[in-house]
Amino acid sequence: MHIPFCVRKCAYCDFASYPMEGRDPAAYADALLAELNLRRGDLVRVAPVATLYVGGGTPTCIPESVLCRIIQGLTSALKGHAVAEVTVEANPGTLDEQYARALLAAGVTRLSLGFQSMNGSELAALGRIHRTCENTSAFRAARKAGFSDINVDLMIGVPGQTQSSFQATYERVFALRPEHISAYMLAVEDRTPLAEALARGVLRLPDEDETADMYESFVRESRARGYVRYEVSNFALPGHECRHNMGYWRNSSYLGLGVAAHSHFAADGERVWNTSDPDEYARRVGSGEIPVAGREIMGADGERIDRIILGLRTRQGVAEEDLEGFGHVVRALVEAGLVTRAQGRVALTEKGFLLGNRVFQEFV
């Protein structure tokens, strides 16, 4: 479920997100729950539902009472489903202990906190609204409220970032001992303020070798502290892997609700997405119309390729039987040291995790 509002759009963001000022979050909540009612048939297509994920935008920039009403409306509609994980994304600067307690009472089981960095100048380059001290205070507020399953998001390759500054960031995060850490490579998207600043020479990115060194050092240090890399960018203490995201990497079906939300119906090889215009979304839902803006039929071959690429992102890799017809590709990747074959499965090597895109493109 997508909450498309933020206090302010970050410099690197090209998602469908909009400043909260001037918006009516209660009206958006009404529209979300109305869309859920309109899409009962699609809900059956993805049943049984095992996880809920509330992302953004910044879900916690709307009043806690409104967000909790949305979550409770969703969980009420899912009675009879064994929903084992309910995640909400939150940004430091928008979460305190009271808000965290309200989320826990509403049935949220997992929080995902968007730290991105523990360096003030790096946060400023990214256009984040929070300071490093608010990373720590938000995390401690969530712990004090009772959350025992917390993810922290970090970025690698941020403008001005060095091996030393990134090490300082992850050391401070390890000291907090979150159950899960996502460490994503920064992607610079066209027509964002960050891309423009880089083009003008105002900011500088670390080069590819520096970024690779940062990633490799984080992998080593996370392993030493008991975290398991179960996907290219995701690290968890045993038993705390994100069940929702594992559904994506298994190419499972899911239903997306809200502005610009995407859905996947694996059995039919179909992907659909909602309009990214909040006003159009409200108008269409208000008139009893499902707000889908487009759809793509992947077909069996397309679904298979997605299963391979997504599965290879994970530590378990994919079964060799799923790679029928790609024997020559697998052999070449083994020879290049990018994948291994063992016990009937093909999985990335350490080198392969670092050069994943090179592996994945071989199956496209």
The total of other beta-carbon atoms located within 10 Å of residue 315's CB is 14
Q: Closest by alpha carbon to 206, among 256, 258, 164? A: 164
Write down the mean pLDDT value for the chain. 96
> Which superfamily does 2-249 belong to?
Aldolase class I (3.20.20.70)
pLDDT at 56: 92
Higher pLDDT, 152 or 78: 152
pLDDT at 79: 87
In a 10 Å sphere around its CB, with 0-12 CB exposed, 13-18 middle and 19+ buried, how is residue 116 labelled?
buried
- CA 52 – CA 83 distance, rounded (Å): 7
Alpha-helical (H) ranges within the chain are: 25-38, 40-46, 64-77, 97-105, 120-126, 132-145, 163-176, 193-200, 208-224, 243-249, 278-286, 299-312, 327-335, 350-354, 356-360
pLDDT at 336: 97
Angle at CA 325, nearest 5°, toward 319 and 328?
95
pLDDT at 291: 98
Q: pLDDT (tens digit, 9 = 90+) per residue, 15-66?
A: 889 999 899 999 999 999 999 999 999 999 999 999 999 999 999 999 999 9
Q: Which amino acid is at 66?
A: V
- For residue 148, name the pLDDT band (cuts at 50, 70, 90): very high
Q: Where are the domains of the chain?
A: 2-249, 301-364
9 has a pLDDT exceeding 90: no
Sheet with 318-319: list strands edge to edge. Answer: 318-319, 345-348, 339-342
- CA 363 – CA 359 distance, rounded (Å): 8
pLDDT at 275: 98
Strands 234-236 and 228-231: antiparallel
240 has a pLDDT exceeding 90: yes
- CA 175 – CA 31 distance, rounded (Å): 41
pLDDT at 14: 85
- For residue 181, name the pLDDT band (cuts at 50, 70, 90): very high
Kindly state the DSSP code that residue 5 receives in the 8-state scheme: E
Q: Closest by alpha carbon to 53, among 294, 242, 269? A: 242
- For residue 190, name the pLDDT band (cuts at 50, 70, 90): very high
- Give the CATH number of domain 301-364; options: 3.30.110, 2.160.20, 1.10.10, 1.10.3470: 1.10.10
Which letter, b or e, does each residue of 170-190 get, where b requires 16 or more Cβ atoms within 10 Å of its Cβ? Answer: beebbebebbbbbbeebeeee
pLDDT at 80: 82
Phi-psi region of 290 (alpha: psi -120 to 50; beta: other; left: phi over 0): beta
Residue 49 · residue 83 · CB < 8 Å: yes
% of the chain at pLDDT higher than 70: 100
In a 10 Å sphere around its CB, with 0-12 CB exposed, 13-18 middle and 19+ buried, how is residue 267 labelled?
exposed
Q: pLDDT (tens digit, 9 = 90+) per residue, 313-360?
A: 999 999 999 999 999 999 999 999 999 999 999 999 999 999 999 999
pLDDT at 364: 86
Q: Closest by alpha carbon to 188, among 12, 364, 11, 67? A: 12
Name the pTM for this structure: 0.95
pLDDT at 297: 96
pLDDT at 130: 86
169 has a pLDDT exceeding 90: yes
Q: pLDDT (tens digit, 9 = 90+) per residue, 300-322?
A: 999 999 999 999 999 999 999 99
Higher pLDDT, 80 or 221: 221
Which H helix or E strand runs over 87?
strand 85-90
